[in-house]
Each structure stands twice: as C-alpha cells, then as structure tokens.
C-alpha cells in the first residue's frame, strides 16, 4: 500500500466586515480578522501556526491579494511574513469583490449593486485584468511568483481555467463539488488530480455523509468532527484515495461578533479538531505524508481520472459533529 499524501490548505483572507451592506458605518477588517485575539491570546492564524509547529507539519497558505485595493500591500505582507517564517508554502487566492475598492466612489456603487465575488461567468478580458492584477500583487507581497491558485468560494468555470493557464499558472486547487455542485457537470470532482484546460487541478477533498443532508461535504474543520477526520483518513488509506486536501480558515477557530468593535470567541471544538488532525498525521507517518502543494506539484502529478472511490464517513461521526456544531453551542458550550 502507498502512503496517502495530505495537504493542509488555508485560505488567508481579510474580512469585508459589512462594508458592502452598510458602507457608511462599517469598514473592512484587516490583520485583526486573521489574528482573532481574545483575552490576549491568538485564536486564529497564530493558533494554527503554533499547532503546525508543535507537530512539525507544513501547510499551504493561499493568500488573497486583491484586498490590497483597500489596505495597501503592507497589511497582507505582514501576514505573509509571519507565515513564511516557518517555511510554509505561500500561493495565490483571489476574491474579485475587493476590486470594488478601485472605484473612488465605491460607496455609491455598492449601494446600487453588491459586488460580484465570483471568478466564474466573466469575459476573457475581465478575467485577464483580475488575474493579472492578483498575480502582480502577490509578487509585491511575497517577492515570488505564484505557481498554484485557489479561487474565492471555490467558484470557477472553464473560461477562467483557460485564462489562468494563459497567465502562466499551471496548478490549481479551486474545485470541491459539495452541495449542489457546479453548473458545468464536468467540474463536479470530489478528489484526485485532473487536467482541466491545461491546468492540473487538485480539488478540495469531498466526502459523502448520510446526515443531516445526504450528499457531498467539503473536508473542512467546521464540517468534520474528530471521529469523521479519523475515519476519512483511515478510509483514504484503505481505499488508496490520494491526495487528500483539507480546507481551513482562520475564522474556524473563533467566530466574530460585531463589526465596528469586533469580538472573537474561541471555538474549542474546532480548535480541538485541528489539533487532532495534526496529532494524527504526525503519529501516522508510516501511512500518511503531509506536504505542501509546492512539494506535491514539483514533479507534475499524474492524473487520477474521475473514477476514484468516494470518501464517506459514518453516521456516528456526523452525530458528534451535529451535537458540537448545532446543539451544544445553544446551551453555551463550544
């Protein structure tokens, strides 16, 4: 049996923080939305970085760069440097909604129409401008060229894949067909390595759950209990489903309340799940190797085809998740 390759991937992005729905009273939130301080402790990015360090694991951090149209370069640069210290992999993430701030009269514009945050359903010309801009900002922030990209909200279409390819990006982790999936059925991929319009696509892993809704779920920290994480990784090994891509956000570890004076409250269930994941991977190195996307893509990985077995998790794991996500927080336990 082969070792299963696991990539822990983070979307590193700032928060629009209500600025589009209430532009007069709220403004985007920068580094504080990633630090997520509570009682002098970091319950966001710093929590995750400390956890990875404790277990000597490296992750891939997809940096959203279009936010520089509001914050300038320095705000994300500071974050990039704090991640790069531990030799993690920095790659490109992009949320087109931030380009709204290029318009000096953005307040009037967002009152008329909420900015479109999807990279899908755009003209080739628009895509060239957005992707070129995001890429240029990434170089300014990190002093290196991105090799791998992930689109915001995992929204993408074939036209966008074509333009990313044209702009020199050859690897992506932008798919993850959870819920209703994509309008283009050929993009409904749940695992594996695929070739799309010249790009090597490595989707966020999805798994089948029987409850609460039958269907595909993304392999995320809020979306998977410790029992599910353990089962999914063991299942992947037994059925040789590789690679496994796990999606993490700093916000998983502490929800925000309030916009003008935001507060962050630790979510101990999610923090424990991430710690559990790291401990499991560090302990089971004979079956799993945890690596960055850059390492995975070093020698172009062979495509796996669409016929990989489906990852699935047992009802007991889902029950624990529902208890922790939906029931216990209502009585103040989290």
Nearer to Zn ion, 11 or 89 (CB): 11
Exactly one of 59, 96, 152, 222 binds Zn ion (CB under 5 A); that residue is 152
**Where does this chain touch Zn ion (CB under 5 A) — which range of 18-26, 148-156, 178-186, 308-316?**
148-156
* DSSP characters over 26-50: ---B-THHHH-EETTEE-SHHHHHH
| Site for Zn ion contains 252 (CB under 5 A) | no
For residue 206, count other CB atoms closer than 10 A to its CB: 25
Of 4, 2, 1, nearest in space to 233 by CA: 4
User: How far apart are alpha carbons 205 and 267 in whole angstroms?
Assistant: 23
Show the tokens assigned to 248. 């993490």
**Where does this chain touch Zn ion (CB under 5 A) — which range of 50-58, 100-108, 120-128, 152-160?**
152-160
Question: Residue 126, class by beta-carbon neighbours within 10 Å (0-12 exposed, 13-18 middle, 19+ buried)?
Answer: middle
Nearer to Zn ion, 11 or 133 (CB): 11
Exactly one of 4, 11, 146, 192 binds Zn ion (CB under 5 A); that residue is 11
Smallest distance from the beta carbon of 40 to Zn ion, in angstroms? 28
Q: Which residues contact 66 (CB under 8 A, 6 or more apart)?
A: 94, 95, 96, 98, 99, 130, 133, 134, 137
Tell how strand 4-12 and strand 311-312 pair up. unpaired
Give the binding-site size for Zn ion (rule: CB under 5 A). 3
| Site for Zn ion contains 13 (CB under 5 A) | yes
Smallest distance from the beta carbon of 11 to Zn ion, in angstroms? 4
Smallest distance from the beta carbon of 322 to Zn ion, in angstroms? 25
- Site residues for Zn ion, 166-185, by CB under 5 A, read none
Cβ pair 225, 273 in contact under 8 A: yes
Nearer to Zn ion, 149 or 288 (CB): 149
Nearer to Zn ion, 65 or 226 (CB): 65
Smallest distance from the beta carbon of 117 to Zn ion, in angstroms? 9
Cβ pair 67, 33 in contact under 8 A: no
Smallest distance from the beta carbon of 94 to Zn ion, in angstroms? 8
Q: Return the CA Rg of the chain.
A: 19
Cβ pair 269, 36 in contact under 8 A: no
Q: Closest residue to Zn ion, Cβ-based?
A: 11
Show the tokens assigned to 95. 């949320």
**Where does this chain touch Zn ion (CB under 5 A) — which range of 12-20, 45-53, 75-83, 184-192?**
12-20
Nearer to Zn ion, 288 or 293 (CB): 293
The 97-136 site mask, x for binding Zn ion (CB under 5 A), equals ----------------------------------------
Show the tokens assigned to 218. 């993304």
| Site for Zn ion contains 96 (CB under 5 A) | no
Smallest distance from the beta carbon of 12 to Zn ion, in angstroms? 8
Q: Which residues of the chain form contacts with Zn ion (CB under 5 A)? A: 11, 13, 152
């Amino acid at each position: 049996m082969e070792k299963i390759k696991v990539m822990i991937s983070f979307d590193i992005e700032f928060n629009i923080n209500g600025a589009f729905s209430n532009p007069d009273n709220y403004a985007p939130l920068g580094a504080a939305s990633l630090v997520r301080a509570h009682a002098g402790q970091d319950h966001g990015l710093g929590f995750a970085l400390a956890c990875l360090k404790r277990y000597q694991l490296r992750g891939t951090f997809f940096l959203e760069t279009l936010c520089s149209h509001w914050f300038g370069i320095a705000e994300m640069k500071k974050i990039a440097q704090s991640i790069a210290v531990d030799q993690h992999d920095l790659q490109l993430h992009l949320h087109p909604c931030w380009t709204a701030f290029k318009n000096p009269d953005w307040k009037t514009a967002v009152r008329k129409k909420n900015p479109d945050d999807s990279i899908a359903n755009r003209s080739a010309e628009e895509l060239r401008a957005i992707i070129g801009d995001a890429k240029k900002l990434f170089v300014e922030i990190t002093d290196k060229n991105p090799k791998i990209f992930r689109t915001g909200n995992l929204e993408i279409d074939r036209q966008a894949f074509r333009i990313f390819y044209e702009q020199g990006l050859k690897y992506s982790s932008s798919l993850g067909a959870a819920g209703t999936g994509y309008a283009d059925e050929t993009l409904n991929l749940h695992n594996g390595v695929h070739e799309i319009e010249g790009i090597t696509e490595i989707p966020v892993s999805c798994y089948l759950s029987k409850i609460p809704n039958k269907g595909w779920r993304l392999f995320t920290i809020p979306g998977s209990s410790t029992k599910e994480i353990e089962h999914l990784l063991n299942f992947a090994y037994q059925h040789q489903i590789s690679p496994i891509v796990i999606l993490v956000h700093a916000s998983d570890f502490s929800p925000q309340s309030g916009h003008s004076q935001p507060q962050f409250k630790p979510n101990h269930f999610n923090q424990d799940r991430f710690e559990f994941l790291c401990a499991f991977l560090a302990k089971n190195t004979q079956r799993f190797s945890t690596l960055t996307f850059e390492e995975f893509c070093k020698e172009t990985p062979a495509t796996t085809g669409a016929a990989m077995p489906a990852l699935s998790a047992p009802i007991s794991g889902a029950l624990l998740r529902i208890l922790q996500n939906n029931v216990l927080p209502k009585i103040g336990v989290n």
